[in-house]
Homo-oligomer: A and B are copies of this chain.
Amino acid sequence: MKIAVFGTGIVGQVMANRLAGLGHSVTIGTREVAKTLARTDKDPYGNAPFGEWYKLNKNLIKLDTYSEAAASAEIIFNCTMGQGSVEALKQAGNANLKGKIIVDISNPLDFSKGMPPFLSPGNTDSLGELIQRTFPDVKVVKTLNTMNCYLMVNPAALPGDHNVFVSGNDVSSKTMAKEILKSFGWKESNIIDLGDITTARGTEQLLPIWIRLYGALQNPMFNFKIVVGTPPKM
């Protein structure tokens, strides 16, 4: 498929690489191509500037503006920082987004008051819903936002079973997203469909404990597994 990956950070890089490796035609979208390539600073995690990574991957992955990347794509992966996601999608333009699936894997983390960040949409909204409301002609599927990007694309990196969640209003778009998850290695039985896009409030609000578990475990390679038992007799 033709896939646009919005975001040039580590999440976008890992996602673009994995999708291209699976044979998809991948274009990374960014605000200004020349500026993105000219960056010389490492990211907050110490990763090399985008341009260095891109030199190694440009035979496999294209780089273009948000609007050009969206125009040519069937599916858009939103891997931008959550605080900038709506603006990035606005730059893509409604006409280029219309009718398409947006797989939203970002989280609306607000770092403006220091660490740990908090969720900017508050307790009665989510970024997934905000994107769906702002772009009513797209089909938002929220998924993968509850784990490290290396796990997103390679669940076998952890031992045994663990879960990924899916939220969205359009059933066939969720089915499409689940197929991509399965191509990453996710077992169907480990994909939990929570329901419509309002359930993104549930997965985004996992971030506060994710951040604190990262602190307690000193290791970002972990995920949530839902262990289910027999219902009680009522």
Contacts and interface: CB of A to CB of B under 8 A. Distances in A.
Interface of A: 45-46, 113, 118-120, 122-124, 148, 150-151, 157-162, 165, 192-195, 199, 201-203, 205-213, 215-232, 234
A227 B223 contact: yes
Name the residue in A45, A157, A202, A223 with the highest tally of chain B Cβ atoms < 10 Å from its Cβ. Answer: A202
Given A123-B118, A222-B227, A213 B234 contact: no
A157 to B, nearest CB: 6
Contacts of A203: 209
Contacts of A224: 224-227
A226 to B, nearest CB: 5
A231 B216 contact: no
Given A219-B228, A221-B228, A222-B227, 9 more contacts: A123-B123, A148-B232, A157-B229, A165-B209, A194-B213, A205-B207, A205-B208, A217-B226, A222-B228
Given A227-B159, A228-B158, A229-B157, A194 B221 contact: no
Nearest to A108: B123
A231 B221 contact: yes
17 contacts: A120-B123, A158-B228, A160-B227, A192-B216, A193-B216, A195-B212, A195-B215, A199-B212, A201-B212, A205-B206, A205-B208, A213-B226, A217-B226, A218-B231, A220-B231, A221-B228, A224-B225
Contacts of A208: 123, 201-202, 205
Contacts of A165: 209
A202 B194 contact: no
Contacts of A212: 194-195, 199, 201-202
Contacts of A211: 202
Contacts of A226: 213, 217, 222-225
